[in-house]
Amino acid sequence: MRTDRLPGVVLTDHFLDVPLDHAVPDGERLTVYGREAVAPGREHEELPWLVFLQGGPGYAAPRPPGRTSWLVSALDHYRVLLLDQRGTGRSTPANRQTLPLRGGPREQADYLAHFRADAIVRDAELFRRELAGPDERWSVLGQSFGGFCATTYLSYAPEGLREVMITGGLPGLRATAEDVYRAAYPRVARKNAAHYARYPQDIERVRRIAAHLRERPARLPGGGRLTAEAFQGLGRMLGTGTGSYVLHYLIEDAWVTGPAGPELAESFLQTVQSHLSFTAAPLFTVLHEAIYAQRSVQPGSTGWAAERVRAEFPGFDVGTALDGGRPVHFTGESVHPWLFDTDPSLRPLKETAQALAERADWPDLYDADRLAANEVPAAAAVYADDMYVDTAHSLETAREIRGLRTWVTNEWEHDGLHAGGGVVLDRLIRMVRGEV
């Protein structure tokens, strides 16, 4: 094990071999990585464990530069495990470079079907037994998709849990992928309206960029293709505390004048690429709709739900907006089949993504009966009008988890856990302990 000492935190590497399919424990195995974080001077104390489940799917756990963000509060109370969920970070990778080892698109899809919340929870349980001991419970902090995983944890392995804290991540227990996006598009429209109210000058700026891309898609520095629809994907930023400002500053610097006249600036295209590329998190795209799939809720496939539901909201159609003289709406956290044509890191996974979109009969991720009988102390921060997770779905789920306490706030956006330093986590800790 390697240990590093950074300002205010001591970090130690942990690797664990786990079954690819937990139903076949003697079958193929892969490696899952976790980074332990503890306050200096407390390395040898008997501290309770807290495992952090990252948002996503498909993103690695944070790489702390020191005792920053929510670790400021966490390290006062816990020994923390930052878990790289299977397929991400230093765990056995799953991307365009490694997945061809599985075979063709169908074989790759079969492999990735084992990368959802149920498998992540089973991996965490093996880590708990290894690090804390088989009889020791630990605490869970789940951010966004990590909160979905925490809800799965409460459903299928509550015996391993001491307490659960969720931020911006209470899923709809019975929401189909269509339900999720049918609720999402109006929320995203409200975020667009708020952005344009703050920066009315951006209405014409965005229309100009979209009209240009509609006629002449741009080539991004990394080889990607920036279409008008891909440009709309920058709206993913609008769900964070500073996203609207970042988007505005990006848009205002979009153009330069060269020998042939106005053209999109290379600096603009470079920054756009950094926001739109999924090179670092390809699993986000191929598994994104699968995280909502459950056979008891929707026996069939997800079938590119976000793309199908988008047709019900013509305000998000670039051509309709431009032809009608209306503002062009940015989209939110949704995945569309054309992404696998515009992003070069995703092109090799196009058929794999299609196979997952067509896959049916996904196992259930939540057990409503078990959640109704929950005995694990639990608390959730629910962000009012969260762009990424529907507030109504979250509150409905909160009512179905026995004993779960909610803190509904509009002080923070979806990134409140990180943006708020230790404030959000500190309140959740006091909630699960009954101190507030």
In the prediction, which pLDDT does 178 show?
97
pLDDT at position 414? 93
- State the DSSP string of 151-196: HHHHHH-GGGEEEEEEES----TT--HHHHHHHHHHHHHHHHHHHH
The answer on 150 and 39 residing in a single domain is: yes
Do 278 and 384 lie in one domain? The reply is no
Q: Which residue has the tokens 């199908």?
A: 308
Alpha carbon 76 to chain centroid, angstroms = 26
State the catalytic residues. Answer: 144, 361, 414
The answer on 185 and 166 residing in a single domain is: no
Q: State residue 1's pLDDT score.
A: 73
How many Cα atoms sit within 13 Å of 228 on the Cβ side?
20
Token representation of residue 85? 């969920």
Indicate whether 119 and 226 sit together in one domain.
Answer: no
Are 81 and 200 within one domain? no
CA distance 333 to 352: 20
**Residue 124 half-sphere exposure, CB side, CA atoms within 13 Å?**
37
Domains contained in the chain, number? 2
Domain boundary among 337, 358, 379: 358
Helix (H, G, I), strand (E, B) or coil at 280: coil
Residues 123 and 209 in one domain: no
Alpha-helix residue ranges (DSSP H) falling in 216-300: 228-232, 243-252, 266-276, 282-287
d(CA 269, CA 222): 10
98 shares a domain with 40: yes
74 lies in the same domain as 222: no
Residues of the chain with pLDDT under 50: none
**Domain termination site, one of 342, 358, 374:** 358
The Cα 364–Cα 257 span in angstroms is 55
Q: Are 146 and 418 in contact (CB under 8 A)?
A: no
Element (H, E) at 371: helix 368-372
Does one domain contain both 64 and 118?
yes
Predicted local distance difference test score (pLDDT) of residue 420:
83
The structure tokens listed for 169 are: 């991540």
Residues 9 and 156 in one domain: yes
Sign of CA dihedral 64, 152, 30, 138: positive
Q: Are residues 85 and 156 in the same domain?
A: yes
pTM, whole model, 2 decimals? 0.96
End-of-domain residue from the set 358, 374, 408:
358
For residues 16 and 164, membership in a common domain is answered with yes
- Provide the domain limits for residue 320: 177-358
**CATH code, domain carrying 9:** 3.40.50.1820
Contact 382, 168 (CB under 8 A): yes
